[in-house]
Amino acid sequence: MKVLAITQARYGSTRLPAKILKEVNGQTLLEIHLRRILQAKNVDKLKIATTDEEGSKFIVEVANKVGVEYFKGSVDDVLSRFYGTAAPEKPDYVVRLTSDCPLIDPSIIDKVIDYAVNHDYDYVRTDAASFPDGLDTEVMKFSALEKAYVEANMKSEREHVTPYIWKNGTADGGSIFKSYKLKNEAGEYNANDYRITIDEPEDFEVIKRLIEALGIDKSWKEYIDFLVAHKEIYEINSRFSYNEGYDKSIRNDNTIKK
């Protein structure tokens, strides 16, 4: 069985340009993100799905430094780019990650993979209602990704890779896909109130403070516990909501021809 992890990384960003190339203690956030993924025990290979934008050369430099392969594809049809990254590898399962999560946790990646494989799900993702924003992990069978690539025809379904899958999924498999949301059962607090992603300048300030205080190799819970103990840091980016990018796509959605 082959498990391929793919992280989406692009240079352009409306709210925070070149955000993943910002540095803390001499390392870019992208490098930190990649090195944390590589600690996952269940991942056989990691690739970057990037774009043809001019700035992608900087992403390629980081990829080469870390020793990770990359694929360049469409800026707007992210599903096509993601599929193009996966297809040559012929994996059994694909892990979808995004580079705006520099402190992604390898133990969560492993847990989601285990759950998908052991329960024969087409698709499993972390439950956004119980995990902090910045730990988003999705695992799907390659066959599910391929079906989405062929059949998805809404703009939002092609800009965000997996909406076609999770919109057509049920836990009992009574729909097109058998899918599941994996909940965080270890939390002592409402974890989804906390944000360790990077979309806004304030997010970078929080990530920077966390890394300067704790380093880059702690578990997600240690980072969140630090925010719990330091409300003045938590409050820096607490006003932003989860998944604003997808919400924007829905507002501007329409059927497209591939």
Is CATH 3.90.550.10 correct for 3-251?
yes
pLDDT at 246: 47
Tell me the domain boundaries of the chain: 3-251
pLDDT at 11: 92
pLDDT at 129: 87
pLDDT at 185: 80
Question: CB under 8 Å, gap of 24 or more: what pairs does 16-22 form?
Answer: 16/198, 16/199, 16/200, 16/201, 16/203, 16/204, 18/55, 18/58, 19/100, 19/198, 19/199, 19/204, 20/59, 20/99, 20/100, 20/102, 20/198, 21/58, 21/59, 21/62, 22/198, 22/204
Give every residue of the chain whose pLDDT is below 50, as ranges. Answer: 246, 258
pLDDT at 247: 54
pLDDT at 65: 98
pLDDT at 211: 98
